[in-house]
Homo-oligomer: A and B are copies of this chain.
Amino acid sequence: MDLEFGPEYEDFRQEVKDFLRQHGAKSPIGTALRSNETISWQKLLIENGYTARTIPQEYGGYGAQPDLIQSRIIAEEFAHARINPGLGGQGISMLVPTLLELGTQAQKAQFIRPTIQGEMVWCQGYSEPGAGSDLASLTTSAVLDGDNWVVNGQKIWTSTAQLADWIFCLVRTEPDAPKHRGISFLLFDMKTPGIEIRPLVDMTLAANFNETFFTDVRVPKHQIVGARGEGWQVANAILAHERDSLGNPNITLARLNALIDLMKTETVNGEPLIDNAIYRDRLMKIQGRVMAMRFNELRVLSSQLNKDQDPSIARMIVKLQGTELRHDLEGLGIDIMGEVGLCYEDNPHTRTGGSWQTQYMFFLGLIIGGGTSQIQKNIIAERGLDMPREPKVIKPSPMTAQKGGQ
Contacts and interface: CB of A to CB of B under 8 A. Distances in A.
A153 B404 CA distance: 28
A345 interface: no
Contacts of A397: 398
A106 interface: no
Nearest to A400: B394
A283 to B, nearest CB: 12
Nearest to A393: B391
A27 B76 CA distance: 76
A93 to B, nearest CB: 38
Contacts of A276: 277
Interface of A: 276-278, 281, 391-395, 397-398, 401, 404
15 contacts: A276-B277, A277-B277, A277-B278, A278-B278, A278-B281, A391-B393, A392-B393, A393-B393, A394-B394, A394-B395, A394-B401, A394-B404, A395-B395, A397-B398, A398-B398
Nearest to A280: B278
A146 to B, nearest CB: 35
Contacts of A392: 393
A374 B398 CA distance: 31
A62 to B, nearest CB: 52
Nearest to A397: B398
Contacts of A277: 276-278
A381 B397 CA distance: 31
Nearest to A398: B398
A88 B170 CA distance: 66
Contacts of A401: 394
A308 B395 CA distance: 46
A228 to B, nearest CB: 28
Contacts of A393: 391-393
Contacts of A398: 397-398
Contacts of A281: 278
A131 to B, nearest CB: 20
A278 B397 CA distance: 59
Nearest to A278: B281
A281 B278 CA distance: 7
A332 to B, nearest CB: 14
Task: List 4 tightest A-B contacts by C-beta distance, closest first.
Answer: A277-B277, A398-B398, A391-B393, A278-B281
A159 to B, nearest CB: 33
A38 B278 CA distance: 50
A252 B34 CA distance: 65
A55 to B, nearest CB: 48
A21 B276 CA distance: 50
A397 B277 CA distance: 63
